[in-house]
Amino acid sequence: MTDVPTSAPRSTSKSEFSHETVLLFETVAAVLGEKSLNDNTPKHDGIYVDATFGRGGHSKLLLNYLSDDAKLFVFDKDPEAIDVANDLAAEDKRVIVVHDSFADMTQCLNSRGVSQVDGIMADLGVSSPQLDDGSRGFSFMRDGAIDMRMDTSRGQSVGEWLQTVDEETLADVLYDFGEERHSRRIARAIKGMTQYTSTLELAEVIKQAHPKWQKGKHPATQSFQAMRIFINNELGDIDSFLAQSLTLLAPQGQLAVISFHSLEDRRIKQFLQRHSRGQYPEDENLPMPPQRPRYFSKPKRIAPSKAEVTVNNRSRSAWLRVATRTDTPYNTDPSPQHS
């Protein structure tokens, strides 16, 4: 497990990030291939990617450990996050801002002359500003339009989608993306609404329709999660992002990904297991399975410390999964290999 430093580097205060940025020091240490961070941590050359910039907590700390010649590409779909990223880029020439999804990471990097990078990190959680700003529509505790788009400059909002989606499809979304056991009942109640303009009204309808509440958890939690994941194609983007890491990471490059719920974490876990063991489903029924390369080292799973959870309750469900890219390229040819 990556150690948390007892003190932050001189230019960064740990308390500055602890309330918003989850697994901050662990993630930056992992993407650099370091066991921990301290004043003796060397400056790293190379090209790095923050695939989910958010409000820049991980990027700002990482920059403290990059050399003057290093580059940091930061991605985000959220225009508000991009505004913060542009401010950082104006102060630091090593930062290159990309207003796009990490699902388009390869294309965006290739168009800028980059084919391989030395480290990729991603925090798949919704940022605190997104949750705390009721107008974004992510929160069932603050009123606002039922939006939930990560990128408010394009695409359909959840409110617009709810006006046209049929009850059966809505129920499937609640079940598949929110693991909501009472999806049919909740979908029926939602489709009984006359308008979709208020997150608090939507949350109240879900609350009234939900037959069994989990202690300490709002009954609309899983339904809101499901609609957000669906409207932003979050799981599809994650699958694309992970697949692209296979060819983007240079040998000995590091992948570090934070997830917050089982649907995300299961995908990351299974992806890293397959590519660290060299065992793939398409080979299972072959009479002579080929010898696949092990694309990643044995992955590690890191949890937030008790101290972090105490300070930042939103970190309690987070997992950081880390792996190192091996030297052998992934072989997509399913035919047996002969020497």
Give the full edge-to-edge strand order of the sheet including 47-50.
Answer: 95-99, 71-76, 47-50, 117-123, 249-259, 319-324, 300-302
Confirm whether residue 172 is marked as ligand binding.
no
Contacts with 311 (C-beta within 8 Å, 6 or more apart), sequence order: 18, 19
Q: What is the DSSP letter of 6?
A: S
Confirm whether residue 56 is marked as ligand binding.
yes
Q: Tell me phi and psi for residue 36, to 5 degrees.
A: -160, 170
- Residue 338 CA neighbour count, 13 Å, CB half: 2
Q: How far apart are CA 322 and CA 12, in angstroms?
A: 23
Confirm whether residue 155 is marked as ligand binding.
no
CB–CB of 318/324 below 8 Å? no
Task: List b or e across 186-205, with b for residues whose CB sees 16 or more CB atoms inside 10 angstroms.
Answer: bbebbbeeeebebbbebbeb
Contacts with 263 (C-beta within 8 Å, 6 or more apart), sequence order: 177, 179, 229, 235
Confirm whether residue 102 is marked as ligand binding.
yes
Pick from 261, 264, 268, 234: nearest CA to 316: 261
Torsion of CA 233, 239, 240, 243, to 10 degrees: 180
Confirm whether residue 25 is marked as ligand binding.
no
Q: Tell me phi and psi for residue 82, to 5 degrees.
A: -65, -35
Q: How far apart are CA 150 and CA 144, in angstroms?
A: 15
Residues annotated within a binding site: 56-58, 76, 102, 123, 130
Residues annotated within a binding site for S-adenosyl-L-methionine: 56-58, 76, 102, 123, 130
